[in-house]
Amino acid sequence: MKIRRGLSGGQYKPLNDQDIKKIHETSMRVFAEIGVQVNFSEARELFRHAGAEVEESSRVVKVPPDLVQELISKAPSMVTLCGRAENGELDCEIGGDKVYMGTGGTALNVQDPGSRDARRSQLKDVMNMARLVEALDNIHFYMLNVYPNDLPDEDIDVNRFGAALNRTRKHVMGGVYTVEGVRNVIKMAEIIAGSPEELRKRPFISMVTCNISPFKLDKSYGELAMEVARNRIPVVVPAEPLCGATAPITLAGNIVVQTVDTLAGVMLTQLVNPGTPVLYGCISSITDLRDMKYLSGAVEMGLMNAASAQMARFYQLPLYSTAGMSDSKVNDAQSAYESAITGLMVALAGGNCIHDAAGFLEFCMTAS
C-alpha cells in the first residue's frame, strides 16, 4: 500500500464525542480509584512528590485526574522523528492527523529472501532490512524489526542500532533491553551526530519501552523509559492489552486499559524530565479464546488503533500506532487482506506513526 509521507488522516472516526468522553472519564476514574501498580520505588517516589497517593504495601499509585492532566500537558503535542538527509526531507512530523508508515518489531524469525523459508533472524538481516527501508519511498522510518539471534544478549542494543544507522538515513526506532544498552546507543548516536547537543536538536533515533497491561508500570521497562527520558531522546510508551487475556473482552474496555497504561508511561517520562518528547502508543489487539493465541491481523486491532488515534488527539499527544500485520505464515491472499485492511483503517483514522506496517507474518513471529 502506497502512503505518501505526512499524508493527512482523521477521516475515519469509529468513536463519537460521547464515546471519547466516556472512555476518558472511565480512565480518570481508574487512575483515581483503582490506581496503577508501580513496581519500583524510584518511580513511586516521583509520583508521591508530584502529589499522587502511594500505598507502599501494594505498590499502588492513585493519581487525581487534575494531576494526570497537568503531567501529560507537559509533553509536546508534536514530535519530529528526524532523518539524516541534509534538507530534512526524511523527517517525520508526528502529531495531529499526519500519517507515516514504517516497519515494526521485533520478530525472532525472518523469511529468507533466497529460499523463502522462515529461519532464525541474524544481525545481517537487520542490515538487509535497513537497506530495503532506505530504498522504499512508502516506508518512512525503520523500526528495528528483527532480533539478531547470533549475538549475545548484552550486545543486542548497540549492534542493532549501529547496523541500522550504517545502512539507512531514515529515522531508526527500536526496542531496548538494558539501561546500559540505552546509554551505549545514545553515546553512539551522539558521535554520529557530532555532539550531544546536535543529537538533541535533530534526534534521528528513538526508543520503545512497552508497558505491561493491565494497570502496571514494570521495573524493567520503567527504568528503561526513565533513562531515555533523562537523556531527552524521543521515547514511545505503548501498551498492548489483549481482549480476553489482559483486558476486558469488549473493545471499549480494552481502550480504557490501553489509555490508562499508556498515560501512566507518559506521566512517568514527564516526572523524570518535563518536556521529554514522548509518543502515546497503542498495540491493542484480541486473543483467540480457543487457544489464547495473540491475533495480529484481526480487524479489531485496526478498530482499536483507529479509536486510539482519536484518543491521542483528544489528549493532544502524538501517536505510535499499529497496523499492517498478518497471522498468515506466508505472503498470500490472507496476508494481503489483513495487512491492507488494518493499515488503511488506521491511516484513515490519522494514526500518525504506524509501525508494523510492512512485512510482519505469523502472529508477529516472522519478518519478510
DSSP 86-134: TTSTT-EEESTTEEEEB----BSEEE-TTT--EEE--HHHHHHHHHHHH
Q: Pairing state of beta strands 278-282 and 319-322?
A: parallel
Beta strands in 137-191 (DSSP E): 141-143, 171-175
**Which one, of 39, 22, 41, lies nearest residue 259 by Cα?**
22
**What is the three-class DSSP state of 355?**
strand
Query: Which domains can be identified in the chain, with CATH numbers?
Result: 7-367 (3.20.20.480)
Contact 61, 41 (CB under 8 A): no
**Which one, of 243, 234, 307, lies nearest residue 276 by Cα?**
234
How does DSSP classify residue 68? H
Euclidean distance between CA atoms 101 and 359, whole angstroms = 12
Give the predicted TM-score (pTM) of the model.
0.96
The pLDDT profile of the chain, 368 residues, written as one tens digit per residue, is: 556 787 899 999 999 999 999 999 999 999 999 999 999 999 999 999 999 999 999 999 999 999 999 999 999 999 999 999 989 999 999 999 999 999 988 999 999 988 989 999 999 999 999 999 999 999 999 999 999 999 999 999 999 999 999 999 999 999 999 999 999 999 999 999 999 999 999 999 999 999 999 999 999 999 999 999 999 999 999 999 999 999 999 999 999 999 999 999 999 999 999 999 999 999 999 999 999 999 999 999 999 999 999 999 999 999 999 999 999 999 999 999 999 999 999 999 999 999 999 999 998 899 99
Q: Provide the phi-psi class of 352: left if phi over 0, else alpha when psi is between -120 and 50, else beta.
A: left
Euclidean distance between CA atoms 19 and 194, whole angstroms = 48
Distance of CA 299 to the CA centre of its chain: 19
Beta strands in 156-273 (DSSP E): 171-175, 205-208, 216-217, 235-239, 242-243
Torsion angle of the four alpha carbons 151, 152, 153, 158, in this order, in degrees rounded to the nearest 10: -60
**Which one, of 198, 175, 267, 188, lies nearest residue 229 by Cα?**
267
C-alpha cell at 313: 488527539
Neighbours of 191 (CB within 10 A): 11
C-alpha cell at 359: 512485512
The CA–CA distances, whole Å, from 130 to 106, 172, 269, 338 equal 14, 9, 29, 24
- Intra-chain end-to-end CA distance of the chain, in Å: 15
